[in-house]
Amino acid sequence: MNKIILKKQIAPGIKLMEVEAPLISKSYKPGQFVILRVHEKGERIPLTIVEANKEIGSITIIFQEVGKTTRMLGKLKEGDEILDLVGPLGNPSKIKLYGHVAIVGGGVAIAVAYPIAKALKAIGNRLTSIIGARNKELLILEDEMKEISDELYVATDDGSKGYRGFVSDVLKEILNKKATFNMVFTAGPAIMMKVIADITRSYGIKTIASLNPIMMDGTGMCGVCRVVVGNEIKLACIDGPEFDAHLVDFDLLINRQKMYLKEEKLSLRLYEEGSMIE
């Protein structure tokens, strides 16, 4: 169970894995995620389900090796097993006919945006997708997004591909040309989503953000993933992960994401030095 049946690198430090998970694949809906644990003393981390193959009973995940656990996950090979894989967790995306939808994804979170965009397009929505990364080497799922989009815009921080700048700059430029959307969906770094929300708020466009707070058990028991939405405390794992972007306290989210940076860096350093093997 939880055997890795496919593993490949899709960008520097970014890997894709297809994992045997028949029960999860059977119940999965776009927007949901899993919590996994590499070994019995390891931490639990959330990862979005990018695709589910119900015929063979597998799910696909994409992750960036940024900390100890993702580095350990990245070292697993095809045929290895992930110790724990729990899901599908979180509320599914509200997939319905909105009309013209903009999908704005940044960095590895393009993997969050893709399955939702695919489901929205499948029922007849017009899809304008804006994806971005620091440079062209780190851009993921471009071909997949192009295939399902009516228009695809690419932005890179350094201008190595597409628009030089941020996805928010592209969105603002489109809106300044009098184009409009019935709904905007965004997934990416918290600061990116905050800027997107500020832009769409001024145009009165409903915007949904997929939040990415620190998360542990994914069932609402620990309270680690709490966020403030509309001045109310919500748990991203059971109330989300998607919320009205215009009501999210992004400043609080950003501050909470930084709470354990020192400890995370220490853990990674000790692991890389061989001082910590678990």
Q: What is the pLDDT of residues 148-204, one digit of tens each?
A: 999 999 999 999 999 999 999 999 999 998 778 999 999 999 999 999 999 999 999
* pLDDT-wise least confident of 45-49, 194-198, 274-278: 274-278
Q: Is the pLDDT of residue 15 over 60?
A: yes
**pTM tops 0.85:** yes
The domain limits of the chain are 4-89
Q: Considering only CA atoms, which of 154, 163, 148, 137 is closest in space to residue 115? A: 148
* pLDDT-wise least confident of 69-73, 136-140, 183-187: 69-73
Question: In terms of pLDDT, which residue wins out, 240 or 278?
Answer: 240
Residue 210: CA count within 13 A, CB half-sphere:
30
Q: Three-state SS across 246-262?
A: HHECHHHHHHHHCCCHH
Name the CA dihedral angle for 184, 187, 190, 191, rounded to a multiple of 10 degrees: -60
Average predicted confidence (pLDDT) for the chain = 91
**How many whole angstroms separate alpha carbon 251 and alpha carbon 198?**
13
**Fold type of domain 4-89:** Elongation Factor Tu (Ef-tu); domain 3 (2.40.30)
Question: Would you call the peptide bond into 88 cis, given omega within 30 degrees of 0 as the criterion?
Answer: yes
Q: What is the pLDDT of residues 91-123, one digit of tens each?
A: 999 999 999 999 999 999 999 999 999 999 999
Q: Which residue has the tokens 């400890």?
A: 263
